[in-house]
Amino acid sequence: MQRYKCSSVGIIGSGIQGVCIGLQLVKKGIPVTIFDRIDPLSNTFKSASYGNAGHFSPYAVLQFNRPDVLSDVPKMLISSYGPLALKWNYVPKLIPWFINYLKTFNKKSMLHTAKYMHQILSLSNDAYEEIFREINTNNLVEKKGIIYVWTNKNLKSRELEIKVRKDLGIEQKLLTQKEILELEPNLQPVFDAGVIYESAMHAKDPHGILKEIFRLYLKKGGKFIQDNIQELKQTGENKTIIKSNNQDYFFEKSVIASGAFSKKLTDQLGENIPLDTERGYHVHFKNMEYLISRPVIFLDRGFGMTPMNQGLRAVGTVELGGLKNPPSKKRIDYLIRCAKELLPQLGKHEDEWLGFRPTLPDFLPIIGPSLKNKNIIYAFGHHHLGWTLGAVTGKIVSGIVAEEKTNLDLSPYSSKRFN
Ligand SMILES: Cc1cc2nc3c(=O)[nH]c(=O)nc-3n(C[C@H](O)[C@H](O)[C@H](O)COP(=O)(O)OP(=O)(O)OC[C@H]3O[C@@H](n4cnc5c(N)ncnc54)[C@H](O)[C@@H]3O)c2cc1C
């Protein structure tokens, strides 16, 4: 076995980034401890990696930093009933993020994000397949593609998305309304057309998959400590300290994989990173998952439905409102109304959940060493695609820790772009 230089690593966060990074490091023979305030094997674990829509979406290169949505944003923010919402009490705190976001509303930034999302997204399914060979994915992963539907209202945006994906060589199959209804006959025909990504997969239980990966990590010798981390420091050439209220833990290197909560730690390291959160919601319609065979996303509404083991999961919307505001009843009502527009036979919902997408204003994650502390490595900010990118982030970050050479251009993911 190849010997790696690093003698120990501490990882803060047991979401999908943390467990995938941990797994890749223990596979290299490096001793690892993952910290989380909640045990990922417990039923109280409700992080973004638990409640997402479960799409493995290697095609999703375009995000919301694009000129064609600029004119719609103010309208959507003012309306309390649409795919985008704002908690007004959060506006002053959102300003740094928003100023940076406005700077990216141009074609050049859009294509930069698309190019460098594509660089890692195109490796994402293979990275998962490698892990899936080592865990039991029975009844956890489905390979039936993912469908997006739309009305003819925003065709210019649809044309732009199709073109960008075509230019990047992404496989996509456009569908008429009739073809969509042949695939998903229970849907109401309230849309005009759509697209299917035939090689896309979906999770029938994201938390179930995360637990399987975490168990594999433990089996290979990884450690877990349930603790709420308050502070992180590099104190010497090869020494980092992770501190909770009760204890100090020492490692040669540390990784921040704390999702939307990472900013508290990076602020302490003297880096001004404009990480914020796009809040999203889900509800379940129990025993209704049979109504569709694969995820269906209604682009005009900013919401989707995924057939899962817990039921039909209606999931989505973006709410700018920080980490502390309570959940919004209106967002839940919006999700339910959207779900019933496509499937009027749905009855009562259960399990209202609010989750925090960790989002940077240019919609690229931060993956790489801290600018001032080279033994602290960042792995957060994967916004709408953190579930898809977990396995590949694990590979990239473990390579950085082990100081391996890579053919990837990692510079666009550096926190340098904000400092
Ligand atoms: C509604 C919704 C739908 C989504 N759908 C999809 C999808 O279909 N496909 C996709 O690719 N992505 C999707 N995402 C995005 C994806 O879920 C996230 O990007 C991803 O889960 C983030 O993973 P993470 O490991 O970075 O963070 P998290 O999953 O948030 O994990 C971070 C962990 O760190 C822990 N932590 C934080 N701070 C501390 C501390 N100080 N001490 C100890 N522990 C700490 C937290 O407890 C948490 O468990 C969706 C997100 C939402 C909200």
Query: Which tens digit of pLDDT belongs to each residue from 32-60?
Result: 999 999 999 999 999 999 999 999 999 99
Q: Are residues 213 and 119 in the same domain?
A: no
Residues 352 and 386 in one domain: no
In a domain, 4, yes or no: no
Which residues does a 6 A CB cutoff place in the pocket of ligand 1? 12-18, 35-38, 47-49, 52-55, 57, 228-229, 257-261, 280, 282, 315-316, 355, 357-358, 380, 382-388
Q: How far apart are CA 130 and CA 128, in angstroms?
A: 5
Domain C-terminal end among 359, 381, 398: 359
Distance of alpha carbon 296 from alpha carbon 307, whole angstroms: 9
Give burial (CB, 10 Å; 0-12/13-18/19+) of 53. buried
Instruction: Give pLDDT, residue 237.
Output: 87
**Torsions phi, psi for 200 (to 5 deg):** -75, 150
pLDDT surpassing 90 at residue 70: no
CB 364 within 8 A of CB 117: yes
* CB-count exposure of residue 122 (10 Å: 0-12, 13-18, 19+): middle
pLDDT of 323-380, one tens digit each?
A: 999 999 999 999 999 999 999 999 999 999 999 999 999 999 999 999 999 999 999 9
Nearest CA to ligand 1 atom 21: 49
Please indicate, yes or no, whether residues 93 and 216 belong to a single structural domain of this protein.
no
Among 36, 123, 319, say which to mutate for ligand 1: greatest number of ligand atoms within 8 Å of CB. Answer: 36
Could you tell me if 155 and 194 lie in one domain?
yes
User: How much is the pLDDT for 80?
Assistant: 64
Mean pLDDT of 208-214: 98
Same domain, 30 and 174: no
Distances in Å between the Cα of 342 and the Cα atoms of 26, 113, 181, 303 are 45, 32, 11, 11
User: What per-residue confidence (pLDDT) applies to 2?
Assistant: 62
Let me know whether 367 and 355 are in one domain.
no
Number of other residues whose CB lies within 10 A of the CB of residue 173: 12
Q: Alpha carbon of 358 to those of 189, 211, 216, 274: distances in Å? A: 34, 21, 26, 11
Could you give the CA distance from residue 283 to residue 293 in angstroms, rounded to a whole number?
18
Query: Residue 152's domain is classified under what CATH number?
Result: 3.30.9.10
Domain final residue, candidates 359, 378, 394? 359
Rounded to whole angstroms, what are the CA distances from 357 to 115, 280, 316, 361, 384? Answer: 21, 7, 11, 12, 6
Q: Are residues 85 and 216 in the same domain?
A: no
Q: What is the CATH number of the domain that holds 228?
A: 3.50.50.60
pTM of the complete model: 0.97
Q: Are residues 138 and 281 in the same domain?
A: yes
Residue in 254, 264, 357, 366 to alter for ligand 1 test, most ligand atoms within 8 A of Cβ = 357
Same domain, 82 and 166: yes
Judge whether 117 lies within some domain.
Answer: yes
**Per the domain annotation, does 2 fall within a domain?**
no
Single residue among 340, 359, 378 that ends a domain in this structure: 359
**In the chain, how many domains are there?**
2
Assess whether 87 and 217 both reside in one domain. Answer: no
155-167 vs 107-121: helix axis angle to the nearest 10?
A: 50
Within a domain: residue 172? yes
My answer on whether 94 and 214 are in the same domain is no
Local confidence band at 266 (pLDDT 50, 70, 90 cut-offs): very high
Same-domain status, 40 and 183: no
| Residue 120: Cβ-neighbour burial (10 angstroms; 0-12, 13-18, 19+) | buried
Residue 394 domain flag: yes
pLDDT tens digits, residue range 160-185? Answer: 999 999 999 999 999 999 999 999 99
Atom of ligand 1 nearest to the CA of 387: 11
3 pLDDT higher than 70: no
Examine residue 183 and state whether it is found in any structural domain, yes or no: yes
- Identify which of 214, 232, 230 has the alpha carbon closest to the alpha carbon of residue 222: 214
Ligand 1: atom nearest CA of 60 is 11
Q: Residue 164 belongs to what domain range?
A: 56-106+113-204+275-359
Single-letter amino acid code for the residue at 167:
D
